[in-house]
Structures are given as structure tokens and as C-alpha cells.
Amino acid sequence: MRVGGAVRTRFVLEPGQRSAVGRAPGTPAYMSPEHWRGEQAQPNWDVFAFGAVLYALLDGESPFASTAGPQVVADRIQHQDPEPIATRQPQTPPRLAELIHAMLSRTAAERPTAAEVGRELVLLAATGPSAVDDFCSASVPRGYSDTCDHTLT
């Protein structure tokens, strides 16, 4: 299906099916520990991945990034806690840092649900633009421009 100038495709795998011999589909640095173990897909995989995306948006780098290859990334995800985002980016609002930490829990049952994440993000946005302004004015993550444009509606 063509949408604007892009082509949208749909690729669906059956439970347990691999996209290549012995390989699960996904971007290595954003795959949950359960995903790496080849367990059946669950919604909390997306919570983990979104937590890794939020971390990367704030820091400019995935919390599990490695140039040593996907097996090193898999080991980090399954056995190491990432450096707290508040350590790497001290201007991160504390509530957001706590949310990201919870989303990146190696234990699926300890992660918030997608609904809980959504509610917390709405509450964070409702605290007003001052928290966002403070974050933007403090520093800009590596690899991003020196402007911080945001709109809270």
C-alpha cells in the first residue's frame, strides 16, 4: 500500500516463527530479555522496547548499544541493568527517569503495563511545560541539534 511517498507493507510472523534461520525479528538493542530467549510474544515486550526508545531519545544512544555485535547486546539486555538515564542525563525529570527504569526491568512482571505507561506520560505532560523546558535548556543529547522544539497541547 502506498502512503504519500512511502510504501507501507505488512509482514506477519506466526508465534515462534523466525524471520531467518534461528533469528527472531527485531532490532537487537530494543528487544526484551524474553524476546532474546525466544519466548512467546507478550505486550510487555513493547513496553521494554518503548523504554529503550525513550532512553535513546534522551541520551542519543540505546541503553544496551554495542559495536561488538548482537550477542553482546543480548547478554547486556539479559544480565545487566543499563546505566540509569538520570546518571547519563541528570536533567531528566525524576518521574520520567523512574518510569524508564521500570520499563527496562529484565523481569517482565515488574514492568508497568502499556496503559500505566500512557497514564504516567500524560501526567508528566500535565505537569506543564516547565519540566520540559528545564530538560531542554539543561543540555541536548549527543547527536541531536542544539534546539529543543516541543508543543504540549
Percent of the residues in the chain that have a pLDDT greater than 70, as a whole number: 67
Question: E strands of the chain, at which residues?
Answer: 2-3, 6-7
pLDDT band at 21 (very low <50, low <70, confident <90, very high): very low
CA atoms within 13 A on the CB side of 35: 22
What is the pTM (predicted TM-score) of this model?
0.70
Lowest mean pLDDT among 1-15, 54-68, 81-95: 1-15
pLDDT band at 131 (very low <50, low <70, confident <90, very high): low
Distances (CA, A) of 89 to 48, 56, 138: 19, 11, 9
All domains of the chain in start order, with CATH? 27-135 (1.10.510.10)
Residues 6+ apart with CB under 8 A from 151: none
Task: For residues 47 and 31, give the distance between their C-alpha atoms in angstroms, rounded to a whole number.
Answer: 10
What does the CA dihedral 95, 114, 57, 67 come to, rounded to 10 degrees? 120
Task: For residues 89 and 43, give the distance between their C-alpha atoms in angstroms, rounded to a whole number.
Answer: 28
Does residue 141 carry a pLDDT above 80?
A: no
The tens digit of pLDDT for each residue in 75-122 reads 999 899 999 999 999 999 999 999 999 999 999 999 999 999 999 999
pLDDT band at 19 (very low <50, low <70, confident <90, very high): very low
